């Protein structure tokens, strides 16, 4: 950890302005803050709730990003952030004015409007083949190599949470399409973020239809690139305490068993494989 963290920066963001109108997703407490020079940053803590308290999780995010840099893999840079009595990881926004992030979930739902990862049974549909077909339908097949790079990186760091919102595309355009002009946020809506990004306030089904049109418009008229790897905190033993780590590294087989139990969030057909099993399946 000390070797990888030598060039880690520490930001005191106690006086930075919080942008309360930004909606952030995920299981950890997050916020968007603006630095004194006008740059947006995302700050998040480790998971702290009943039954789940992983105080070192934010370090996993930071170390994973620095490991990616060492391996020449495009990753989003994370550093240490301190806000009064809270400590976590912080990263500069990966998008700037004139850009937007299209998450994987939006690509998948544009291809299959019935896909709803909030339904437990639908999580089995989140397969390598499903992603491949969805990208092909949008003319983005060449980016499957980026998906494979993510899966390789996840295998290295043991990430088990590469869900549909943890990868995506950055699109740039000269003029914001009206369909991407977000309306006021409604926190009561189940899909508030996804729908607001595409400027939709009607039903879920019509939202997907409009989103599919938006994808086609952007692909045809805007620059598009695969986003750097982000949100990799569910890795590197983030749930383990120090005593557990010491015991696992004492020379017994517990460490190997822990690694072998790790599974990718992305399935292969109808199978939930280990990281190694998934990569072997892709390779063959």
Q: What is the pLDDT of residues 66-80, one digit of tens each?
A: 999 999 999 999 999
Q: And the tokens for 247?
A: 């015991």
Query: Do residues 133 and 111 lie in contact, with contact meaning Cβ atoms separated by under 8 Å?
Result: yes
Please state the three-class secondary structure of 45-109 as a single string. Answer: CCCEECCEECCCHHHHHHHHHHHHHHCCCCECCCEEEEECCEEEEEEECCCCCCEEEEEHHHHHH
Classified as helix, coil or strand, 223 is: strand
Tell me if the domain spanning 10-93 has CATH number 3.90.550.10.
no
Split at pLDDT 50, 70, 90, the class of 185 is very low
pLDDT confidence of residue 21? 66
> Region 52-75: what's the mean pLDDT?
89
Burial grade of 283 (CB within 10 A; 0-12, 13-18, 19 or more): exposed
Q: Pick the range with the lowest mean pLDDT from 13-17, 85-89, 173-177.
A: 173-177
| Alpha carbons 14 and 87: distance in angstroms, whole number | 11
Domain ranges within the chain, ordered by starting residue: 10-93, 99-230+256-283
Is the pLDDT at 190 greater than 80? The verdict is: no
Split at pLDDT 50, 70, 90, the class of 49 is low
Split at pLDDT 50, 70, 90, the class of 202 is very low
Backbone torsions φ then ψ of 101, nearest 5 degrees: -100, 125
Q: And the tokens for 188?
A: 């009561």
pLDDT confidence of residue 129? 98
Split at pLDDT 50, 70, 90, the class of 242 is confident
pLDDT confidence of residue 48? 62
pLDDT confidence of residue 135? 95
Split at pLDDT 50, 70, 90, the class of 103 is very high
CA angle 57, 60, 61 (to 5 degrees): 95
């Amino acid at each position: 950890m000390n070797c990888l963290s030598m060039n880690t920066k520490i930001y005191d963001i106690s006086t930075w302005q919080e942008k309360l109108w930004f909606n952030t997703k995920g299981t950890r407490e997050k916020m968007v803050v603006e630095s004194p020079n006008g740059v947006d940053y995302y700050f998040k803590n480790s998971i702290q709730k009943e039954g789940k308290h992983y105080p070192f999780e934010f370090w996993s995010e930071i170390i994973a990003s620095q490991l990616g840099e060492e391996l020449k893999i495009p990753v989003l840079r994370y550093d240490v952030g301190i806000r009064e009595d809270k400590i976590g990881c912080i990263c500069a926004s990966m998008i700037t004015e004139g850009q937007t992030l299209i998450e994987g979930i939006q690509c998948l739902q544009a291809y299959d409007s019935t896909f709803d990862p909030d339904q437990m049974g639908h999580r089995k549909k989140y397969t390598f083949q499903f992603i491949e077909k969805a990208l092909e339908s949008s003319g983005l097949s060449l980016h499957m190599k980026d998906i494979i790079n993510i899966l390789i990186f996840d295998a290295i760091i043991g990430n088990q949470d590469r869900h549909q919102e943890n990868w995506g595309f950055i699109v740039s355009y000269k003029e914001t399409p009206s369909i991407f002009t977000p309306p006021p946020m409604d926190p009561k809506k189940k899909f508030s973020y996804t729908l607001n990004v595409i400027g939709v306030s009607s039903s879920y089904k019509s939202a997907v239809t409009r989103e599919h049109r938006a994808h086609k418009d952007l692909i045809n008229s805007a620059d598009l690139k695969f986003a750097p790897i982000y949100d990799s905190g569910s890795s590197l033993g983030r749930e383990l305490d120090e005593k557990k780590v010491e015991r696992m590294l004492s020379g017994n087989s517990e460490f190997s068993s822990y690694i072998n139990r790790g599974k990718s969030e992305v399935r292969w057909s109808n199978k939930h494989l280990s990281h190694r099993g998934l990569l072997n399946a892709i390779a063959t």
